[in-house]
Copies of this chain bind each other. A is one copy, B any other.
Amino acid sequence: MRTRLPSSGQAGYLTESVGRKAPLGHDNVRVLVLGTGQMGSGIARRVTEKQGLELVAACARRTQRAGTDVGRAIGLGVDLGIRIVTDLNIAIEQTRPHVAIHATCSRLGDAMEEITTLLRQNVPVISIAEEMVYPAASSPAIAEELHRCAVKHGVAVLGTGINPGFVLDLLVITLTGVCTDIKSITAKRVNDLSPYGPSVLSSQGVGLSPESFDMGITNGTVVGHLGFAQSIHMIADALGWVIDRIDERRKPIISTVRRQTPFTIVEPGQVAGCFHTAVAYREGKPVIRLVHPQQVHPQLEGLETGDHIEIVGTPTVQLTGSPEIPGGQGTIALAINMIPRVLNATPGLHTMADLPVPAAMMDDARIFVSRGADKTRVKG
């Protein structure tokens, strides 16, 4: 059921360079990546691999990255002829991207300047900042500003990622589609932090004493999971529930065994991670419960990693996957796979729940852009 390809000049986004990998005779989708950390680099690498996508610019916040060839910076081991820049406006003007993927930060306030700079230059944005998955959860005013800015400049903006953005919200919402009534929702994600570096580990209190963990919670250095409010409000909005309040709790996961990763050693009695839960109340009753214990090597204490969703209602539905969907790979895939959805969306702020579902792009990325509703052909 492949539909019409966008012909050059027809779709607004495809009007410029002749693509390097363009067997179809159409321009590549020109991608600007913002952020050259672990996620930004992974996304940029994927853009360079994917037929139909073209990495045209990479921006970093850290000035020491400026001037480095992006191919080296993201670990390709070869020069790509694109130098990392720190001035986003110049990057946009010089490269005229069709879409930007934003991977520099987690917080809305921290992301706004970069995102609105892109929108004001008519560049659609996909952000993996956790708070961008449902911006109104942290600031309705900023969400409204984002929406107005995107509408004014005729482009779409979306937040995505594995969590928030998929496992504990989009997947939950999708499953509720088979229900006529719902009493409560519980979703749990048990993951293993051992692949992660020092900044993630310290944000979860890994390696601390129980006392230092509690102090970290108090002074804000131990944060646990960032995204519960976003997931809860996305679910509640999709279902039409009004949430009274959200009760979040963070407790130390105290190890009984030695757990070691390249970046930390957790001795028995020390903290292996953060057991973070959030319960959302509606009319005084708990209706959404999200559970996300994050730690290094949970299997050393016999704990299996995995994703689990249970919806108690008519009918009751539950789904389990083990091990958990990998966070880094999943987030990179979602950011890339949502490109056609965002390019095809109406202008404005979107969430994962109000666009068509993502799908792996197993063909040239341009094929998936500007497909009409003409579902009249089978493939093959």
Contact = CB atoms under 8 A, between A and B. Distances in A.
A148 to B, nearest CB: 8
B180 A332 contact: yes
A144 interface: yes
Contact of A240 (B313, B332, B336, B367): B367
Give the oligomeric copy count.
2
A333 B177 contact: yes
Interface string A350-367: 110111111111111001
Given A240-B2, A318-B321, A379-B237, A373 B348 contact: yes
A153 interface: no
B182 A362 contact: yes
Interface in A327-380: 329-330, 332-334, 336-338, 345-351, 353-364, 367-368, 372-380
A241 interface: yes
A173 interface: yes
A44 to B, nearest CB: 13
Interface residues on A, range: 35 or more
Nearest to A330: B178
A320 interface: yes
A147 B240 contact: no
Given A1-B134, A136-B1, A321-B319, A359 B363 contact: no
Nearest to A167: B178
Given A1-B134, A373-B350, A177 B321 contact: no
Interface of A: 1-2, 46, 50, 134-137, 140, 143-144, 146-147, 151, 162, 166, 170-171, 173-174, 176-182, 233-234, 236-245, 282, 307, 313-315, 317-322, 325-326, 329-330, 332-334, 336-338, 345-351, 353-364, 367-368, 372-380
17 contacts: A50-B180, A178-B330, A178-B358, A180-B332, A181-B362, A182-B360, A240-B364, A242-B380, A243-B379, A307-B319, A319-B319, A319-B320, A320-B320, A349-B375, A353-B356, A354-B373, A355-B356
